[in-house]
Structure 1
């Protein structure tokens, strides 16, 4: 692996830990800050809101600077606001800290995706992007379980100190190893924003926000699905989540290879259909522990195989607006996070069992595949007309 790509992987690791570890730390944070668990859950929403706001906004503001300087500035923000989280004395301060910590998330992946594709060997651009997203998967395999263990047994504040340390290491590696790529010359922000006037842009955004929401309909309720339906003990959930993380790690690299070999659009539609199929299977095998473990790995793999293809799809579609578009895809992914959890919870509120969110996820994945197919069909029509 090139050292320059390793810096992006380290950034993805830190961002992945701070985003996903909150799910496991909610009881500890709620107890320490004297708030309810639903109130603590708002801290997850605050982070997602920060991502949606910061992704396009920060890239729009900083896009005329050299990529290395942008990435370093974003990582400085990451370090500062996670340090603020570690020392937050009350709920309000923590909410603000989490909102601010989410701001650099999408922008880092947006700029990082473009940088990875530029420094990659020819024909391996998507694989290079997948190396950056590998940090997210490693976070789910190692960082999140470790951070949750430290939070439960010592203090959740120590977990955020570790996140800050990862951020500082990333900052140092960016300074030492990231090449000084030139800034975008004669940048025209108004022209870049014109990308969002294209039908293709909104087809991709809808594909990501709805299609990847299928993942979160399943993942948001995986713990009660495994305990109430699968009969697993609550103590085993952490280890099963590690299994899901391993699937994500494997799937991430497979997705990069697929997007390099085929077009990102074809890879995306195929993987969204595959996600719908795996979720459909999960619904029927959840009571069988052996099959549940197998499908937890497979579903994680299929879902995260989408990461590199959808990012490359944005980049290749948005000629001249690559960084802004790539950051918008991260904002869309976090909308999918919130949308999947919300829609997946509706049948539970109506009294259905914990397999019901998986049906919602199946429909969301198929809807995302429909938008991907519409994009492919539109591109074919445009190619024939030209």
Structure 2
């Protein structure tokens, strides 16, 4: 197959990008599955449930540690062999986890999977950008990131269901089988691209580019705001007198995320700033209403749907903003987004836990709302470089 730097297409390559959407979905399910099968996994490995919960953190730790250095070290490699190697790493780590009888080995596999994730996201974003012409770049990235958003929204319910039906080991084995099929699909259909020489190193000066620091700050704060509340959805429900049915809430969140993804994909290339502002304004409004009137069932669950809508396109919007701010360097821009976003995930869960312990569950949604207000202010001030009108 001919190796090129770009594959210009008049027709949008839906099926090619769908493969990356499925890979993104599988990666996020890999990240979240321990939380979905937590009790059974803890009993089987004879550890506390909190130890299984930390497996999600170990995965994110691997992602944070590898996103920047891996992008620099692998940028000189041909894209397709690297992509297949990375996805095979996911297959291997999940397969070994399914067979593991030892908690320490499971931890190592989680960190390994997270490390491959740090390589995967910048690599997939770069692929998406090269498979289309410039005017469709945002749409292509949105389609890839849709796999992440949908998996994040419904990943835990799916993981819990599979764990109940076939056991936690069967769930990991099934995920490995899905990933293996994706490897075959990509090896068969996806073209290869040469590395771009100008991306071999990540210069420190990239962080001084106009707009990059503000986009990074916004990405971190937005991720922080979301995960302060998302991680502790169950306590929020209980304190509002809503039956603790996190599965239903996550399902409604996922239903809302789908139109959010579709709307973002439609307008991201022409109205990115407006879409981003609309997303965070809607998210802030939802959190404000939950804080005031979340004890009404209809109000609470309606807000969850609209929260999903607000979140659906957010990762794609932040990803595209970073790539634009880094002057169209997709791998570098994506590695920045992945690292900063995952630091926000860590911080959100940590700060949300502190709020829960010291202020109670009532304060969680208020904290998330105030953080979203900060995000709004950051986007408003970034009109010139970080989030220009398009």
Distance in 1 (CA, whole Å) between partners of 2:136 and 2:329 is 21
C-alpha distance in 2 between matches for 1:146 and 1:174: 24
C-alpha distance after superposition, 1:45-86 (max 9, x if no partner): 101101111222221111112222222121111111122222
Are 2:5 and 1:5 aligned? no
Q: Does 1:258 align with 2:270?
A: no
TM-score w.r.t. length of structure 1: 0.90
> Contact 1:48 / 1:102 at 8 angstroms: preserved in 2?
yes
CA RMSD of aligned residues (A): 2.3
Please say which of residues 65-74 and 209-218 is displaced more in the overlay: 65-74
Q: Are 1:225 and 2:233 an aligned pair?
A: no
Aligned in 2, Cα 1:190/1:337: closer, same or farther, shift over 3 Å? closer
SS of the equivalent of 1:370 reads helix
Deviates more, 1:146-155 or 1:271-280: 146-155
Q: CA deviation at 1:270?
A: 3.7
Query: Compared with structure 1, are the counterparts of its residues 289 and 324 closer, same or farther at alpha carbon in structure 2 (3 Å cutoff)?
Result: same
Structure 1: how far apart are the matches of 2:226 and 2:121? 19
2:257 aligned residue = 248
Q: Give the 3 Å change call, closer, same or farther, for CA 140–169 of structure 1 in structure 2.
A: same
- Residue equivalent to 1:296: 304
Question: In the alignment, is the contact (CA less than 8 A) between 1:4 and 1:179 conserved in 2?
Answer: no
- Which whole-Å CA distance do the structure 2 matches of 1:160 and 1:366 have between them? 39
**Equivalences for 1:70-219 in 2 at 5 Å?**
70-140=82-152, 143-185=155-197, 187-189=199-201, 191=203, 193-198=204-209, 200-219=211-230
Report the Cα distance in structure 2 between the residues aligned to 1:329 and 1:271, rounded to whole angstroms.
18
Report the CA distance shift for 1:106/1:277 in structure 2 as closer, same or farther (over 3 A): farther
Whether 2:382 is the aligned partner of 1:356: answer: no
What displacement does 1:226 show? 2.3
Quote the residue 1:286 is aligned against: 294
Asked if structure 2 preserves the Cα contact closer than 8 Å seen for 1:6 and 1:132, the reply is yes
Query: Structure 2 vs 1, CA of residues 243 and 157 (structure 1 numbering), >3 Å: closer, same or farther?
Result: same
- The alpha carbon displacement at 1:15 in A equals 0.8
Partners of 2:383 and 2:277 in 1: how far apart?
9
User: What number of residue pairs does the alignment pair up?
Assistant: 376
Query: After TM superposition, which residue ranges in structure 1, 4 or more long, deviate above 3 angstroms?
Result: 140-144, 185-188, 377-381
Which deviates more from structure 2 when the two are superposed, residues 82-91 or residues 197-206? 197-206
Match of 1:334 among 338, 342, 345: 342
- Greater shift after overlay, 237-246 or 213-222? 237-246
Distance 1:344 1:177, change over 3 A: same
Kindly report which structure 2 residues correspond to 1:262-277, keeping only aligned pairs within 5 A, or say none.
262-263=271-272, 265-277=273-285
* 1:36 positional shift: 1.4
- State which drifts further: 294-303 or 176-185: 176-185
Change over 3 Å in CA distance of 1:207–1:18 after alignment to 2:
same
Q: What secondary structure, in the 3-state scheme, does the structure 2 residue paired with 1:376 have?
A: coil
Tell me, in whole angstroms, the C-alpha distance in 2 between the residues paired with 1:231 and 1:125: 42
Question: What SS does the corresponding residue of 2:211 show, helix, strand or coil?
Answer: helix
Aligned partner of 2:7 in structure 1 is none
Partner of residue 21 from structure 1, selected from 33, 38, 42: 33
Structure 1 residues without counterparts, runs of 5 or longer: 382-386
SS at match of 2:269: helix
Is 1:48 the counterpart of 2:37? The answer is: no
Q: Tell me if the contact between 2:45 and 2:101 (Cα under 8 Å) persists in the aligned partners.
A: yes
C-alpha displacement of 1:143: 4.9
Given candidates 364, 379, 383, the residue that maps to 1:376 is: 383
CA distance in 1: counterparts of 2:299 and 2:60, whole angstroms: 32
Identify unmatched segments of 5+ residues in structure 2: 1-12
